[in-house]
Every structure is written in structure tokens, then in C-alpha cells.
Amino acid sequence: MKQVFVTGGSGFVGQHLISMLIENGYKVKALARSTQAIQKVQKQGAIAIKGDLNDAQALAEGAKECSTIFHLAASVDFFASEKKLKKLHVESTELLLSVAKNANIKKFVYLSAASVIMNGRAIVNADETFESDNIIDGYSRTKLQAEKLVLGANTETFQTIALRPPMIWGKDDANTLAGIIDAVKKGNMQFIDGGRHRFVTCHVLNVCHALILADQSQHSGGKAYFLTDGETPVFKDFIKKYVATQGITVPDKEVSLAMAKRVASTMEFIWKTFRLKGHPPLYKGLVNALGMEFITIDKKAIQELGYKPIVSIAQGLNMMKN
């Protein structure tokens, strides 16, 4: 039985990945830093390794006798500063790579993000050769830095792969979905430019399917791959249907892109100047992530990893209702 080590196992993607790995005959160890996290990973069938990403001893215990590491742990926060996120995303990845090599891990699969190519403008049909000339948020900057560390560590005996999903969605999504519902309830939800732009998404089960394919891939490694649901829905249409699965109706309020950018800059300045807690209703990273057309191509993942979405958008929305 193949044994693997998962970081971020108590998170949205991590819990689904552990479950899918178990179903596919894997033995799973998962890093968990709290009692609640331990309970979550154990519930999915994993062996909990108590510790955090800065604990070299815990990481070594997790990596011991494993063939693959799935590195999922991250803070999906488009408002946090690069300085705040660097320790979690970059320094911890560097430590985990070192631990992996010492443990003779054969494959290192990193969950990156499609936002590492965002540049404050509309992006259409971008493949893995596309590079941003203006990453404006700390989350995407540090995810790209970590991704480069991972891919740069690739050798013949230590294969590394990075997967770049766009907005991950699905049942039990406590990040994007919860954020939209909260904005609706507070009266802050407005569609930028009417939400008429198209974008790409990736259902959580499609992400997990791709992660397992990456582990099973016979390619040499050292590459990044975009993932999508294979569809390009209109932003407003998708969001309204997504939130409707929870019995919430999103009002048809909208704001121009130019105004959204001005308001975001002002709010961000106020929050940071006065060190206000939480996130402002609108900020530059959010406008960049949700306010413009963003379409990536997953052709390389299809050709090289054998990736094909196992859940369509319609199926995923239907699953949300049950």
C-alpha cells in the first residue's frame, strides 16, 4: 500500500483529497496543528501528525516511509501582505522540500494557484508560458515564489509538480462561498461591470483528481499545470447559482470596474493606515481576482497528466443542494 503525507489536510481541499486517496487505496498521514484539525483528518481516514509547517521534527515524522508529499497548506488571502504570508508559503515550503529530500521522497506535488499570472488586466486563454508583469497581491506573489522553489528542486530522483487551479469551489467551501454570502447579508455584494465577464473555475473533486494524477504521472516533473472545470461560465451567472444552492439570492447590484478600483484603493489605504481588523468590503486583490475576465487553458494537464474533469459545473451545483 502506497503511503503519502499531506499538509493542509484539515482544509477544504485537504479533507476531500484524503478521502479520495483512501478510496484509491493509499495510506495517508496528514499534518495537523490543533485538536480540531486532528479530528478532521482522522475522520477522513488519515493518520494525524501533530505539528505545524515550521516544525521540522513533525514534518520529518510525516514524511517518514512515504513516497509522495502533497503540499496543500496555504492561506488564501488576497488582502494579506507579502511579508505576512512569506513565512507560511515560502519559508515553510523551503523547509518541507529539505525534509522531503532527506526522507528520500520520490514525488512532491504542490498546490499552487492560477492567480500567480494575474496582472490587473483581463487574461484570456493563457497557458503555462504566460507570466505576469504585475502581481499586485501578497498571496499570489508568495505562491509563485513557493512554486518556483518547488519546480527548481526537481531532479531525476525527486520529481516535483505544481498544479494551478483557479477558484476552487464545491460542497463545504468555507472560503469563497462563505465570503460571498457574508457580503450579500451585509449589503456589500456588487457585480463589477455587471459580472458579465467569463472566468474559469475548478471543482474541489476535480482538483483532488488532478493531484492524484500528478502523483501517478510518469513525466519527468519540474512543471506547472493549469486546471479548470473545462467550462467558461459568465461570472454573474455562476455566482448566483452557486449561492442559490444555499438558499441565498444575490441582488442585481453592480459597480463599474473603474469605480471598483478607486473604492478598493481607498478602502485598502484606510484599513492599513488605521490598522483596522479584518478585511475591507473591497480591496485591490479582490477586484483583480473576481472583477475581470480570467481564462486559462488546461491543455497541458490533459495531454501530460491525463487530466479530465470528473465533475461538471452542473453536477457540482447539484451536489451542493444535497
Which are the catalytic amino acids? 139
Contacts of 208 by beta carbon, 8 Å cutoff, 6+ apart? 13, 16, 17, 20
Sign of the torsion angle spanned by Cα atoms 41, 19, 317, 206: positive
The residue type at 287: V
Residue among 42, 44, 46 nearest 29 (CA): 46
Distance separating alpha carbons of residues 182 and 176, to the nearest angstrom = 10
Q: Which three cell numbers stand for residue 192?
A: 463589477
Contact indicator for 49, 32 with CB cutoff of 8 Å: yes
Distance separating alpha carbons of residues 296 and 294, to the nearest angstrom = 7
Residue with cell 496543528: 33
Q: Which three cell numbers stand for residue 44?
A: 477522513
A 10 A CB-CB count for 27 gives 15
Q: Report the residue count for the chain.
A: 322
